[in-house]
Amino acid sequence: MKHLLKLSDLTREEILSILNLGDQLKFERNNGIQKDYLKGKKLGMIFQKSSTRTRVSFEVGMYELGGYALFLSSNDLQIGRGEPVQDTARVLSRYLDGIMIRTFAQQEVEDLAKYGSIPIINGLTDYCHPCQVLADLMTIREYKGTFKGLKMAFIGDGNNMANSLIVGAVKTGMQISVACPENHLPDEKLVAWGKESGLLTVTTSVKDAIEGADVLYTDVWASMGQEGEKKQRENDFKGYQINEENIKGAKEDVMVMHCLPAHRGEEITEGVFEAHAKEIFDEAENRLHAQKAVMVKLLRY
């Protein structure tokens, strides 16, 4: 494993090995054991979109591992004025040991890896959000002890989160049911791949997706970059909400997850969100541990 560009590049074994290391690093942190796994290593963090969790968890994670993280806003970088990614990649490879990038086009992340000579980590694109799903998988295993036999339901937009959750679920052997409107389906190729595994169902019925689920997941209706479509999307996604009524169709011990930020009253009700706040904020915390594991795997040697 040289980069983390998208989850589908990783084998099941690589994913499980990141989760195991994440568990170990969490244990060490909770027990006051501090080890400089990445002493002196430098991570550049390029942000072309806003972030709370990704920015802070990568920066704190790098600090805790004995390394250094540089926050690089695209507003200030020459990339924001049109310097090509190919050149940015080659320049930054001379200074840094790794790059985390949050941007729009997946191609930009792939190009950084192609032209640079250091590990690249995808911190979210329009296509996928692999770091989030690694933390999600870690959280599911913490709560449920296993992936085997579990059913996850994703309700809402077939967006970057849905794409990565499909990959994460199929690779760990969970069933996943995605409920979304016909005109907001997840990536076509991923859907075909997921269906081939026999583990993915895509439906327009929220009720069918939630039926018997062990894990319910949702995300915003309008992602970063889609602010102009907000009104239209509110209309398209009416009914694609996790609420007090439809959650009754899930298993009694269902866990509810959200990558955050959440829009209460849209994709999830205030009541369901708060009743499951423990899971949701454990999930947010696990971003730190899972990403530390990713950084150790990619930057250690």
The one-letter amino acid code at 136 reads D
- Is 131 annotated as catalytic? no
Distance CA 9, CA 84 (A): 25
Under the binding rule (CB under 6 A), the answer on residue 219 touching ligand NVA is yes
Please name every residue paired with 256 in a beta bridge, in sequence order, or none if there are none: 216
The interface region with ligand CP, picked from 45-53, 70-78, 139-147, 205-213 by CB under 6 A, is 45-53
From residue 38, alpha-carbon distances to 98, 113, 118, 138, 195 in Å are: 11, 21, 15, 22, 40
Under the binding rule (CB under 6 A), the answer on residue 161 touching ligand NVA is yes
Site for ligand CP in 239-268 (CB under 6 A): 259-260
Please answer whether residues 206 and 268 qualify as being in contact, where contact means their C-beta atoms are separated by less than 8 angstroms.
no
Under the binding rule (CB under 6 A), the answer on residue 122 touching ligand CP is no
Helical (H) or strand (E) element with 295:
helix 277-299
- Is 208 annotated as catalytic? no
- Is 94 annotated as catalytic? no
The interface region with ligand NVA, picked from 9-17, 84-92, 158-166, 202-210 by CB under 6 A, is 158-166
What is the C-alpha R_g of the chain? Answer: 19
**Contact string 251-280 vs ligand NVA (x = CB under 6 A):** --------x---------------------
Cβ proximity to ligand NVA: between 258 and 292 the closer is: 258
Residue 217: φ, ψ to 5°: -135, 140
Site for ligand CP in 201-220 (CB under 6 A): none
- Is 259 annotated as catalytic? yes
The catalytic residues are 102, 129, 132, 219, 259, 287
